[in-house]
Amino acid sequence: MTPLKNNIPARFIDLGQIGYQEAWNFQEKLFAENLKSKMSGQSVKNYLIFCEHDHVYTLGKSGSENNLLVNNQRLQEMGVTFFKTNRGGDITYHGPGQIVGYPILDLEQFGLGIKSYVDLLEESIICTLRHFGLKGERLPGATGVWLDTEIPGKARKICAIGVRASRHITMHGFAFNVNTDLSFFRLINPCGFTDKAVTSLERELGKKQNFAEINQIVKEVLTKVFGIKIQP
């Protein structure tokens, strides 16, 4: 896809490592403020929020709890929380070493529909992977970014995407596995799949990555692809 050239202002916020509920509350506050502004004809502010989460499983509104393969007691023993969310998609894992991005954007300002918005999120991660000599791909019928989609039994997801939108205002977003502990994915059917694997940048490149450096690359690529101008 061709990057947009809108030069639309947005504020970048890095929350660092943060609990899921706290980050969700923060998103909901900005999301509600933007909905209120839009419905009253006032200008809407765009945000690009990055964070890492403490260990957590989140379930999308169309997902099945059967894709969580452990009970609450086991989750407590592991120190992992579980949330049913209002995003799309099924179940996924968030944790340290994973870049989670929550763009809160007015898609009308960008001239985007929800499908083209998700396409551009995918494109941003695909472009990021090129920096490291990896070919990110789309898999028909499966949102997110994958590797080796055309090799039987080898397809593996490196970035999950699940969003919510109302009146063209977005929230939730993407989770890009950088130095993620992939063992946590063994306790779920990731995104509802039982026959596909999950991977990380660390696993694909054979060594732990500089997380701050990757964070900056993803930020720069996203702003270029979406035509965003980060405000001071």
pLDDT digits (tens, 9 = 90+) for 197-231: 999 999 999 999 999 999 999 999 999 999 999 99
Question: Would you give the distance in Å from CA 49 to the centre of its chain?
Answer: 10
**Residue burial 46-77, b: 16+ Cβ < 10 Å; e: rest:** bbbbbbbbbbbbbbbeebeeebbeeeeeebee
pLDDT digit of tens for each residue in the chain (232 aa)?
566 767 999 999 999 999 999 999 999 999 999 999 999 999 999 999 999 999 999 999 888 888 899 898 989 999 999 999 999 888 999 999 999 999 999 999 999 999 999 999 999 999 999 999 999 999 998 899 999 999 988 999 999 999 999 999 999 999 999 999 999 998 988 766 666 799 999 999 999 999 999 999 999 999 999 999 999 8
Per the CB < 8 A criterion, the answer to whether 135 and 147 are in contact is yes
How many residues are present in the chain? 232
Given the residues 51, 127, 159, 191, the one annotated as active site? 191
Q: Is 159 a catalytic residue?
A: no
Token pair of 63 as six digits: 């997902």
- What fold, for 10-226? BirA Bifunctional Protein; domain 2 (3.30.930)
Q: How far apart are CA 48 and CA 60, in angstroms?
A: 21
